[in-house]
Structure 1
Amino acid sequence: MSDDVECVVVGAGVVGLAVARALALQGREVLVLEAEGAIGTQTSARNSEVIHAGLYYPGGSLKAGLCVQGRQMLYDYCAQRSIGHRRCGKLLVAAHAEQYGQLQRIAQQARANGVTDLQWLDWAQVQRLEPQLECRAALLSPSTGIVDSHALMLSLQADLERAGGMVVLHTRLVQMHCAPHAFALVTHDGTVLRARAVVNAAGLGAVALARCFDGLDSALVPQAFFAKGSYFSLAGKAPFSHLVYPVPEEGGLGVHLTLDLGGQARFGPDVQWVDDPGDLQVDAGHAAAFAAAVRRYWPALPDGALQPDYAGMRPKISGPGQPAADFLIQGAAQHGIAGLVNLFGIESPGLTSALAIAAHVGALLA
């Protein structure tokens, strides 16, 4: 491996791979550094695999714009590459009359974000779609879907490598000296790389990594927060064909029902603020609280049907009680260092937005 490379992307999650692919398709020489022994082992491997429509996010935010743009890009890409996905639709439900106003506000926000296909359903219409779902009213989002995120990442990696790029595993970046269009990167084994462009797509580690960038103003690096989300799977076959979401709660979208491509149902994630991003154990003792949340919209959930499954970690840059932060994509206009892009707080809808984020980063570095 040469000590000189045009572009280095740090992190081989779905966003890092999408960014690296986009840069390689521009004709750039691209090297991806991944600390783990495989691609996509952290946030990208521990989520709901949902293709979001873009309903909730504040108007004009990066989350809103990149989600709506990225959703269509992702559907098109999956169809072209025969990647497993399904546009199954989502029901966003009001369990009681007091939540009807929240649904109205979400519908207004969705329209402002460019989501034009939402459908209002009353109780009878919901029952015709999902007989076991109990709610007062619902919004149907036909453009919400699910995707095989692992197949997606393998395809992005294959595109990158066909374009001449490379992913290097077991390689942790520990320090970088920043100067305009000239970066000296030091890996854990002492290897020094020189690059003209660097993209920090390290996900859960992006903030800590940026603090190791000599020449980057530390005041521009946000504080990292970690919100753990646990999932419980359903024993037996689910009686639903749509995803089911309650109205959002603080820190996340509530204990919702998602389906995988095989039809298996899982519930989650909840929101647990933690200090350790490696805290990924699912507490079986939370099953009762999950069941209570699920029974608000599925009263017939059988006793003992929930089994601990897995947990994911949201790389947040806003903490408990604070307004949810937007994606923070820092280029030279923000920090003054040409050739450096930091990606902070790329939580949901990061999977849906990955191809649009990649295009955005490519434009910043063009």
Structure 2
Amino acid sequence: MTDMQTVVVGAGVVGLAIAQRLAAAGHDVLVLEQEAWSGQHASSRNSEVIHAGLYYRPGSLKARLCVEGRDLLYSWCAEHGVPHRRIGKLLVAVEEAEVPALRALHANAAASGTRLEWLDADEVVRIEPEVRAVAGLYSPLTGIVDSHALMQSLEASLQAAGGSVSYRTQVQRVVPVAGGFCLEGTSAGEPFSLSCRYLINACGVFAQQLAAGVQDLPGNTVPALHLCQGRYLAYSGNSPFSHLVYPMPAANTAGLGVHATLDLAGQVRFGPDVKYLQQIDYSVEDGLVDGFARAIQRYWPGCKPDRLVPGYAGVRAKLSGPGEAPADFVIQDHREHGMEGLIQLFGIESPGLTASLALAREVAMRLDKLYPMTKGQTAQTAYKEHP
């Protein structure tokens, strides 16, 4: 006998989405989260953009789940009253040398099923008068979302389906046992132990740490983690933009360039940049303004550096190091290691927020395929799908 049927470790947006979906399917679900509230890491330290699916290799998990997740997320937000706006995004080539790369992105997006509109320089100015560019792409399906409200809606739906979340609870050791797993750790400073049939590792930047605590799991099955910080600067005063504005990503970098995003109140912020780390660090040090201003002024000459002020930082859970090609999401099961019921997610960086509901569906489908339930609805079919 087990204490719980299913335990999800990690109450970020992906962990909550997975837990909500499984609870809606009839699973007895408990989420364990080491922090005092949900989404304290990547889920609340990002651009809050609903990505359309421009950048990712066609056929990859990132490409497929971004497109699927985008549509699921818009429907979820509308149904559950989560603040969001389909604001649109402008991707620009500032000089002629960038146009071939812009055309390649256009083709890449089309191969993943994402519609973009090609713009010449005059059309760019009509959309965003203060932007300087020789050509652009317009993405009408890109949007913004209140990530905190999204997580609150997922947690409320999880609880309505009978699931629960235990905060300030850290899993330190996982022992495979007959018919499942025994979890050991601390909760509110006190030791705990519980057992479960299914265990989902959705810990984001801490996924490798949890995997290292799984007894007898071969270390070579766990992809290496590369922590990558992205810092944001706010801009005081009125926003000059009505859409998101992205430059062309620089070659051989880990980010999408220092872009302009808007929050739901209409304030503009710029970022993130790229800085690989040895340990998690959310500080935004002084001295960033000049570098940010140079990057921004390439596409917005009117940027006034004295209006750039420190904002916040996030840390990406990357599987690729400096100069390496971008890595895809990794979703693992460990039947071959005698650990039936363990599913682990690694490298859930951007577009993880956009793909969260699609990632939840993917995990549910894999659970159904690998470990079909003997009664009741499956995790794949019980959840109400949106058109």
- Please classify the TM superposition score into its range, dividing by the shorter chain length: over 0.9
Cα distance in 1 for partners of 2:262, 2:13 equals: 20
Q: What is the SS of the residue equivalent to 2:344? A: strand
CA distance change for structure 1 residues 271 and 180 in 2, over 3 Å: closer, same or farther?
Answer: farther
Q: 1:334 to 1:255 in 2, by over 3 A?
A: farther
Superposition deviation, residue 363 in structure 1: 1.1
Shift of 1:335: 5.2
Q: RMSD in angstroms over aligned alpha carbons?
A: 1.3
Match of 1:347 among 346, 349, 352: 349
Post-superposition shift, 1:321?
1.3
Q: Give the gaps of 5 or more residues in structure 2.
A: 369-387
Question: What residue number does 1:14 align with?
Answer: 13
Q: What do the CA deviations read for 1:226-266 (whole angstroms, capped 9, x no partner)?
A: 10000000010111000000111300101000000000000
The superposition leaves residues 69-96 of structure 1 with CA deviations (integer Å, 9 ceiling, x where unpaired) of 0000000000111110000100010010
Q: Is the 8 A contact 1:89 1:142 kept in 2?
A: yes
Quote the residue 2:203 is aligned against: 202
Which range moved further: 331-340 or 247-256? Answer: 331-340
1:320 CA displacement? 0.7
Q: Which position in structure 1 is the counterpart of 2:155? A: 157
- Tell me the secondary structure at the aligned position of residue 340 of structure 2: coil
Letter in 2 for 1:313: V
Q: Would you say 1:238 and 2:239 are equivalent positions?
A: yes
SS in 1 for 2:270: strand
Kept after mapping to 1: 8 A contact 2:117/2:139: yes
Alpha-carbon displacement from aligned partner over 1:80-116 (angstroms, at most 9, x marks no partner): 111100001000100100000001110111011111x
Which blocks of at least 5 consecutive residues in structure 1 are unaligned? none
Q: 1:275 offset after TM fit, Å?
A: 0.6
Taking a change above 3 Å as real, the CA distance of residues 5 and 143 of structure 1, as seen in their structure-2 partners, is same
Q: Distance in 1 between matches of 2:179 and 2:147?
A: 33
State the SS of the aligned residue for 1:174.
Answer: strand
1:142 to 126, 140, 143: 140
Answer yes or no: is the 8 Å Cα contact 2:9–2:15 preserved in 1: yes
Q: Secondary structure in 1 aligned to 2:366?
A: helix
Deviation for aligned residue 1:218: 1.2
Asked if the contact 1:284–1:307 (Cα under 8 Å) also holds between the matched residues in 2, the reply is: no
Deviates more, 1:97-106 or 1:330-339: 330-339
Q: CA, structure 1 residues 175+108, in 2 after alignment: closer, same or farther (shift >3 Å)?
A: same
In structure 2, the partner of 1:276 is: 279
Alignment of 1:277-356 (within 5 A): 277=280, 279-332=281-334, 337-356=339-358
1:8 is matched by which residue type in structure 2? V
Q: For each residue in 1:108-149, what CA deviation from the matched residue of structure 2 results, as whole angstroms up to 9, or x when unmatched? A: 11011111x200011111111111000110000000000000
- Does the 8 Å CA contact 1:180/1:338 hold for their aligned counterparts? no
**Counterpart residue type for residue 208 of structure 1:** Q
Alignment of 1:1-366 (within 5 A): 4-115=3-114, 117-179=115-177, 181-188=179-186, 189-249=190-250, 250-277=253-280, 279-332=281-334, 337-366=339-368
Q: Quote the offset at 1:185 in angstroms.
A: 0.4
The sequence identity of aligned pairs, in percent, is 50
Alpha-carbon spacing, 1:255–1:181, altered in 2? closer, same or farther (3 Å): farther
Q: Is the 8 A contact 2:289 2:305 kept in 1?
A: no
Query: Displacement, 1:334?
Result: 6.8
Q: Size of the alignment, in residue pairs?
A: 363
Secondary structure of the residue that 2:109 maps to in structure 1? helix
State the one-letter code of the partner of 2:196: A
What displacement does 1:60 show?
A: 1.0
- With 281-290 and 149-158 compared, the bigger mean Cα shift is at 281-290
Distance 1:25 1:102, change over 3 A: same
Q: Which runs of 4+ in 1 moved over 3 A?
A: 332-336
Mapped to 2, the partners of 1:334 and 1:84 lie a distance apart of: 43
Does the aligned pair in 1 maintain the 2:18–2:361 contact within 8 Å? yes
Q: TM-score, normalised by structure 2?
A: 0.92
Query: TM-score, structure 1 length as denominator?
Result: 0.97
> CA–CA distance in 2 between the matches of 1:77 and 1:290?
35
